[in-house]
Structure formats: C-alpha cells, structure tokens
Amino acid sequence: MIWGVPAYIEILKNGNGGFQFGLVQGEIDGKVVEYPTGNRFEFTWDGGDENDSASGSGWIKVEGGPQAVGEIRIHRGDDSDFRAKRMK
C-alpha cells in the first residue's frame, strides 16, 4: 500500500483490476451483470485496510459520459459510496 496516492479504481477488460482510497486497497475480480434498469460491474476484492487483511465486494455503474457511481463494501465492516470520472 502506498500512502498519499490519489483514490482510483481500475477495471480491465478481463474483469480484473484494483483500487485504492485512503488506506483501503484491493485487487478486483468481477463481471458485468444485466438488470432491467441497466448494467453494472459487480466485483469481489481482496486486499488490505491499513495494515490488516481485508476483503469485500462492490459495484460500479456508468452514469453517462465519463461519470460513474458505485459502492465498495468491507466484509463485516464499513461501506463507502463513491463517484468516479474516467481519466483516459
């Protein structure tokens, strides 16, 4: 884990990726799930929260253009909503 890194989430075409926000970081494994209201990428993750091992789940949905919303959940812990903007 690198301290002072700007928050990010990266999702690769194969459904893998990673994220970090604050002191929580993890590797992502997920897939696109279709719903009547639209598709979203749902994932599980494994990583750390400060110096402790952590895991959980989450999702992200494109809202339009480069904007997305989502949630990251820590197993038996907190959850955080987020907004993201495509950087590339």
The pLDDT value recorded for residue 51 is: 85
pLDDT at position 4 over 80? no
Name the residue range of residue 47's domain.
Answer: 8-85
Cut 0.85: pTM above it: yes
Contact, 86 vs 71, CB < 8 A? no
> Does residue 2 have a pLDDT over 70?
no
52 located within any domain: yes
Please name the residues in contact with 71: beta carbons below 8 A apart, sequence gap of 6 or more: 58, 59, 79, 80, 81, 82
Query: Residue 1: inside a domain, yes or no?
Result: no
Q: What's the pLDDT score for residue 88? A: 67
Higher-pLDDT residue of 62, 1: 62
Tens digits of per-residue pLDDT, 12-66? 999 999 999 988 999 999 999 999 989 999 999 999 998 899 999 999 999 888 8
In a domain, 2, yes or no: no
Number of domains in the chain: 1
60 dihedral zone (left: phi>0; alpha: psi -120 to 50; beta):
beta
Residue 16 vs residues 12, 36, 75, 77, 78: alpha-carbon distances, Å: 5, 25, 19, 23, 23
3 in any annotated domain: no
